[in-house]
Amino acid sequence: MKRRSFLGWALGPAVLSGAGWAGSLGSAGPGAPSGLLDHTLPNGLRVWVSPDRRAPTAVHMLWVRVGSIDEVDGTSGIAHVLEHMMFKGTTRMGPGEFSRRVAAMGGRENAFTSYDYTAYYQQIPARHVADAMALEAERFAHNAWSDDEFRREIEVVKEERRLRTEDNPQALLSEALHATAFVASPYHRPVIGWMDDLDAMTADDVRGFWRQWYVPANAALVVVGDVDPAKVLADAERHYGPLIARPVPARKPRREPEQRGPRRVVVKAVAEQAAVAMAFKVPRLSAFDDSAEARDAVALTVLAAVLDGYAGARLERTLTQGPDRLADRVGASNGLMGRGPQLFVLEGIPAAGKTSEQLEAALLAQVRRVAEEGVSEAELARVKTQWVAAEVYKRDQLMNQASELGRAWALGLPADASVRLIERLRAVSAQQVREVAARYFGEDGQTTAVLVPQRGTPRPRPAVPMGRH
């Protein structure tokens, strides 16, 4: 249970791991990156270009607002399978040719799928941005591959599920936690998909999903690097502009009903240590307004940072140190924002001689301690200082800049979302942190997953080669 940054929403998606902002869509915002170009092509495709001329390189990303949240029962994992198939050819390029052409440019490329979106990227010399556009626009509009190619690749995806989930006891625990916490929300299903659905999936299922969701108005181009925004826009109009405009499919709400009592699930798996994870339903940050939900979402994220946002934070200091320590590892994280409902998660691995029940009680006790005693101004200042520092340092990498912009678009946020979020952070008071610690951790909204170790032997290494995609 590796500690996640309390900036997890901005630093990385729930990749095979989660309502627009009022008045923001269509506006970069006052705190957007300097020189940012924000334009929408006539076919609906959004274009964001941010110049950074410190090195002659660029990142070209195409984001599609489709992820596992858009799947329906019986087709779980199809968004991720399509991501794999996007590398398998077009009407003019054979399997693997896309990757070979990017490599010939001196670049590298890959893609990722999350609950909320799918993204494709190339890190290339800046002079090749237009070349990357030509390739990406080609496969977006003309993806094509044989049934035999699909049958080979679906076996790769199934092996990926075995390696990342079925052979990973803590991944199984996380999967069971989400499947138990969510009933109606599509977050109930794993991004990688259920194995039965992968077994039953057909090539035509995947082609249909591509035709349904890969439309220009459901996509955004993000380019960051040593580029001239006007030239990039002209190239985008040339390569992406001809893509045929089609309406984005209507999305049904599939709202999660109120949880009316505690839920508990036990996972038995081959493992060396037990583990426990507790999830609590919390509000998501869906607008930069003055609502209680917006204030509480940010305060909960600060609470997660107080508990587990830095080396020696409260959970680590109180539960993993000393001769009578309760845990080998502990963690806390808050979902903060996404297209679906969010969870605050407390998790840990009991130390030798300690039980999951003891650790569960200790983790909850640390939250109650904040609710009863609050946090000091010095502790709050430390969390805020580290948050701002993380924002500054991450912008040293073009990939981070492009990913931040792409995620903002995919979640319906303005380009300056991280700046606005820091402003909200700075306004969080110790009293607000204390209040959310008291408000959201009752047992009626709690879901607990416990890993019970079983004896066994590791599965033999896979016969199917694992690709990058």
User: Which active-site residues does the annotation give?
Assistant: 83
Tokens (6 digits) for 394: 């991450």
The label of the residue with tokens 């092509």 reads: 41
Q: Is the dihedral of CA 96, 98, 101, 107 positive or negative?
A: negative
Rounded CA gap, 137 and 243, in Å?
8
Judge contact between 79 and 253, C-beta under 8 A.
Answer: no
The pairing of beta strand 46-51 with beta strand 219-225: parallel
Instruction: Give the DSSP letter string of 165-231.
Output: IIT-HHHHHHHHHHHHH-SSSGGGS-TT--HHHHHH--HHHHHHHHHHH--GGGEEEEEEES--HHH
Strand partners, 118: 64, 113
178, containing H or E segment: helix 169-181
Rounded CA gap, 440 and 448, in Å?
15
Look up residue 455 and give its amino acid. Answer: R
Tokens (6 digits) for 276: 């426990």
Tokens (6 digits) for 458: 């590791």
Q: Spell out the SS3 assignment of 237-262.
A: HHHCCCCCCCCCCCCCCCCCCCCCCC
Tokens (6 digits) for 438: 């008291």
Rounded CA gap, 262 and 443, in Å?
5
CB burial readout 137-169, b (16+ within 10 A) else e: bbbbbebbbeeebbeebbebbbbbbbbebbeeb
Rounded CA gap, 27 and 430, in Å?
32
The label of the residue with tokens 């925004």 reads: 229
Q: What SS3 state is found at 222?
A: strand
Rounded CA gap, 304 and 382, in Å?
13
Helices 430-439 and 377-394, packing angle to 10 deg: 90
Across the beta sheet with 327-334, the strand order is: 263-270, 446-454, 275-282, 342-350, 327-334
Residues ≥6 apart with Cβ < 8 Å to 337: 9, 284, 285, 286, 297, 411, 413
Residues ≥6 apart with Cβ < 8 Å to 432: 295, 296, 299, 302
